[in-house]
Structure 1
Amino acid sequence: MTSIEKSTFDFLKALKVNNNREWFTENKPQFQIEQQKVKECYQVLMERLKIHDTIDRFKFFRIYRDVRFSKDKTPYKTHFSGSFSRATKKLRGGYYLQISPGGSFLAGGFWEPNKEDLLRIRKEFEMDTTEIRAIINNKTFIKHFKKLEGTALKTAPRGFDKEHPDIDLIRMKQFIVTRNFTDKEVLASNFLDEVDSSFKAMRPYFNYMSEILTTDLNGESIID
């Protein structure tokens, strides 16, 4: 498979209307067919990613929702999704793709960095943002992702100057890039090419963040 098919969207739309175990059980054969087709597309993407990055593993997420701590008790997700992990401790960041009628997107970056990584990133931004500004203001970055996204504190983190000229970056708690797709774009024959192109466009950002998170403030490696 090298493209997403309309039948996949048709199934997901029907699942959204009939999100219950009885309907799903009755239609499970069709689910398995659609899931396998989408998995094959993700496997093609993984092979393409391997051409320009070092990929450790590919994870295709289950359709079943964990409803234990959710107010929404519908048992099934109404999308297919998967992620690709970069290999070795030196390569940080990861790729994600979600297929959903009216809500397909790809993403990459650092969703919930631990406190040590978050402090290291903020300290780097406190010292110098020349390189990260150059990356996120690059025309290729803007074309694919528009901007660096993520939740942020309302004020400066403890220990940082709220008047710092780069406080907009220092306040951030997440460092994510995303690209949304229309249904027409997802169903187009060049969809996987477009996804791979955006994944490739993440590399300068990933390279920069990997260097930060594998070195100390003096630039010395912290990787064994």
Structure 2
Amino acid sequence: MSETLISLRGVTKTFGTGQAAFQALKGVDLDIERGDFVAAMGPSGSGKSTTMNILGCLDVPTTGSFIFKGHAVERLNRDQRALLRRRYLGFVFQGFNLLSRTSALENVELPLLYRGESREVRHKAGMAALEQVGLADWWDHTPAELSGGQQQRVAIARAIVTQPDVLLADEPTGNLDSERSVEIMELLTDLNRRAGITVLMVTHEPDMAAYANTIVHFRDGLVERIDDKAYA
């Protein structure tokens, strides 16, 4: 039986005040089941990225309810949200965001360094994460010595080194060619199916969204429709 991991009810988000106010979200309702692979799609300004920022605890709703693992996230303070991010969430970005002068392993170890883990623990977990993405033999290479696809794999290893419940991927194939894009999507699919990580991805590309089990279409600050392969 499926378990609801994330629930949004009546979520709105307004930026600015007065005449300059812009309502990015106008009442989003969305349930995400544990272990799902969800792709968020929609034109620019549709609200998909704002929703993902809220799901990633990088922003808070103006009004509405955000429940994560049974907890009302909108009631948490900044420090509590930061703790939630560190414990349960991993992030992958379009631009990789790797430190240029450090090795792949050192980049992957960063979240554990912020947690205060020992060097031995960081090294063991970092190598295990690189093994998961097929780059264990490249642990001592800097980003400049890696292809775009390899850099994104390092970024994914960094995101999963803390063994998160949820992986949030913002246009993860946006800077890659078609062949590398397929490799990254197959890796995300494998992490979802084998490791049981819930994947939430923003993409403009229908062929990349096709890898997901659930596709959420946003338009004008609302969920326009949801395509669920389980019921197709």
Give the TM-score normalised by the residue count of structure 1: 0.27
Going by fraction, where is strand more abundant, 1 or 2? 2
Q: Which has the higher contact order (CA 8 A, sep 6+)?
A: 2
Higher gyration radius (CA): 1
Going by fraction, where is helix more abundant, 1 or 2? 1
